[in-house]
């Protein structure tokens, strides 16, 4: 979805920087790509550019947790029980929301239950201007598909449930909404 949004924004005349983790997708034409591998690298790439940015759209959370003590070498099978301790990664949207001045900040929420309630909480807690709710169901998942079904949530407005649409069409509609907010 992030690549589709970047392409739509560039087509509509925006200067776009796409910060992306590893992907097999081709970089859309006219876009500055910054490749990262970790949540911390993504935070640093976004954070250093934030003050001179009009809008940040975080189409996906990179990783919410990371191993507390990463192994330096392969862990061999030994038959012993293993426990993996995790620690939270930096919450990029929350950090940006605390710093925002003039920027429009857009997030995505992937929820398995209480989607609207949880997405509204994220909208407020992270000081977002808009959040796009993806709901996972048995019949549809946003991953590895060219289509998606989302709900647009903005402060003080009724949620807008969009029908199943190609991601490229969703991206154009979303970018048009954001452009009007700018």
Specify which residues 19 forms β-bridges with: 34
CA 124 to each of CA 8, 18, 106, 121, 143: distance values in angstroms, whole numbers, following the listed order: 27, 25, 12, 5, 26
Return the number of other C-beta atoms located less than 10 Å from residue 61's C-beta: 16
* Residues 6+ positions from 105 with CB-CB distance below 8 Å: 55, 56, 93, 96, 97, 126, 127, 128, 129
State residue 5 phi and psi, 5-degree precision: -65, -45
Crossing angle (nearest 10°) for helices 2-11 and 167-181: 60
pLDDT band at 75 (very low <50, low <70, confident <90, very high): confident
Q: Encoding tokens for residue 51?
A: 């003050």
User: Average model confidence (pLDDT) for the chain?
Assistant: 91
Q: Give the angle subtended at the CA of 70 by the CAs of 144 and 77, to the nearest 5°.
A: 85
Q: Which helix (DSSP H) or strand (DSSP E) does residue 9 occupy? A: helix 2-11
The dihedral sign for the CA sequence 92, 96, 97, 98? positive
Per-residue pLDDT reduced to its tens digit, 33-70: 999 999 999 999 999 999 999 999 999 777 889 999 88
Any idea which residue has 């946003």 for tokens? 142
Dihedral sign, Cα of residue 93, residue 98, residue 103, residue 106: positive
If you compute the radius of gyration of the chain from its CA atoms, what whole number of angstroms results? 18
Map out the domains of the chain with their CATH numbers.
2-65+87-181 (3.40.50.10300)
Residue 136 confidence (pLDDT): 67
> How is residue 61 written in tokens?
């959370």
Enumerate the β-bridge partners of residue 58: 107
pLDDT in tens, 80-104: 888 899 999 999 999 999 999 999 9
């Amino acid at each position: 979805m992030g690549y589709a949004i970047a392409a739509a924004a560039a087509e509509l005349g925006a200067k776009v920087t796409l910060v992306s983790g590893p992907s097999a997708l081709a970089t859309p034409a006219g876009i500055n790509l910054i490749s990262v591998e970790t949540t911390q690298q993504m935070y640093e790439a976004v954070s250093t550019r934030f003050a001179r940015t009009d809008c940040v759209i975080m189409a996906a959370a990179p990783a919410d947790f990371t191993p507390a003590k990463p192994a330096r070498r392969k862990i061999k099978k030994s038959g012993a029980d293993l426990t993996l301790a995790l620690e939270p990664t930096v919450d990029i949207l929350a950090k940006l929301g605390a710093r925002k001045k003039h920027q429009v900040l857009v997030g995505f929420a992937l929820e398995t239950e209480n989607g609207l309630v949880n997405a509204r909480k994220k909208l407020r807690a992270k000081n977002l201007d808009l959040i796009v709710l993806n709901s996972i169901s048995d019949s549809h998942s946003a991953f590895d598909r060219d289509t998606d079904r989302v709900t647009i949530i903005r402060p003080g407005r009724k949620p807008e449930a969009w029908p199943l649409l190609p991601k490229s069409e969703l991206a154009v509609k979303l970018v048009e909404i954001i452009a009007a907010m700018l």
